[in-house]
Amino acid sequence: MATDDSEFREELISRMKKVEGQARGVQRMIAEGRSCSDVIVQLGAIKSAVEQVAVGILARYMAECIEREHAEGKDVSAAIKEFMPVFRKFS
Average pLDDT over the chain, rounded to an integer: 91
Q: How many domains does the chain have?
A: 1
Mean pLDDT score, 18-47:
98
Domain of 86, in residue numbers = 2-90
What pLDDT, on a 0 to 100 scale, did the predictor assign at position 3?
59
**72 — phi, psi (to 5°)?**
-90, 5
CATH number of the domain to which 38 belongs:
1.20.58.1000
In tens, the pLDDT along 41-85 reads 999 999 999 999 999 999 999 998 888 888 988 888 888 888 899
| Cβ atoms 69, 76 nearer than 8 A | yes
Mean pLDDT score, 20-36:
98
CA distance 29 to 12: 25
What pLDDT, on a 0 to 100 scale, did the predictor assign at position 4?
80
